[in-house]
Amino acid sequence: MLARIFVVIILFILIVPASFSQVSIIPEPVSLQQKEGVYNFKTQIVIEEGATNLAIKKIADWLKEKLSVTGLPVSIASTAEKADIHFSLNKTANNTIGKEGYQLSVSTNNGVTITANDPSGLFYGAQTLLQLLPAAIESKTPTKNISWSVPVVEITDYPRFGWRGLMFDVSRHFFGVKDVKEFIDDMAAYKYNLLHMHLSDDQGWRIEIKSLPKLTSVGAWRVDKTGTFGTFSKPEPDEPRNYGGFFTQNDIKELVQYAKDRFINIMPEVDMPGHSLAAIAAYPDLTCTPGTYQVS
């Protein structure tokens, strides 16, 4: 008898996930109710913007690009009788979800509806939608033989913390504009909203200051060393100082706008007076201690 019960339990475990795959969203929503069924994106995907709003248009354009890997035609309409994805701003604010919260509803007949008080909430709802899709949505190129569907769910979500930040240290090792944009995209996917950029330290000065050009012509470069911290050999005077880099002012403007479009603020960190060897190497008069200084 026990053996039969055990077999039934094993069969149940094997069969249930195939018909009712458990939804997992990161970060975990405040409320998630999963029901039976899925909504299938079949021959095309239509995104309905709803309100005429530049921020929403940017979100729709961003989502259209993300959905292009499905291989299905993706279009955007201000209104659509039979859209697959609907964006909607509340006419009367829902105080429960606040500025960054959203409600996401999926039904087998009406597709996906994302409702929020503010465009930022619509953006975070769209990020959740991507997590509801098959993992192939993260592919860099269109994928074939994928059934593009989302489970029927009712989600209400809003952040517990207003400040949700990560630091990116581009000073000790320089990372270019492309790398920072990828980092911002990863942050946005998990609903972080503040990027702390560490732009200066002993190992390099990373932001162009036009009135102080040596900060980048001298302070942004050092001898390339590999190994374990504390074991590096001291650079020789004639070793090339060609490891490093910096962001121009136009680079910074581009990154600020890129982050803003994803509802992320950038908080710059410029260390003074501590951790300022790169600045002192560029302008020795900044220190009261005479000597020869080099970027470490």
Looking at residue 282, its amino acid is A
CATH architecture classification, 165-286: Alpha-Beta Barrel (3.20)
Rg of the chain over CA atoms, in angstroms? 25
Across the beta sheet with 85-89, what order do the strands follow? Answer: 31-40, 149-157, 102-107, 111-116, 85-89, 45-48, 74-77
pLDDT mean for each 10 residues of the chain (296 residues): 51 46 92 96 93 90 97 91 93 97 97 97 98 95 92 98 97 97 98 98 97 98 85 82 96 98 97 92 92 87
The C-alpha atoms of residue 51 and residue 40 are separated, in whole angstroms, by: 25
The C-alpha atoms of residue 78 and residue 59 are separated, in whole angstroms, by: 13
pTM score, whole prediction: 0.89
Domain ranges of the chain: 27-157, 165-286
- Beta strands, E only, 73-136: 74-77, 85-89, 102-107, 111-116
- The helix/strand/coil state of 195 is strand
- Give pLDDT tens digits for 53-86: 899 999 999 999 999 999 999 999 988 778 999 9
Task: Please state which of the four CATH numbers 2.20.25.90, 2.60.40.60, 3.40.50.1370, 3.30.379.10 is assigned to the domain occupying 27-157.
Answer: 3.30.379.10
Q: Is 141 exposed, middle or buried (0-12, 13-18, 19+ CB in 10 A)?
A: exposed
What is the pLDDT, as a whole number, of residue 10?
A: 52
- Equal fold, 27-157 vs 165-286: no
Contact 203, 274 (CB under 8 A): no
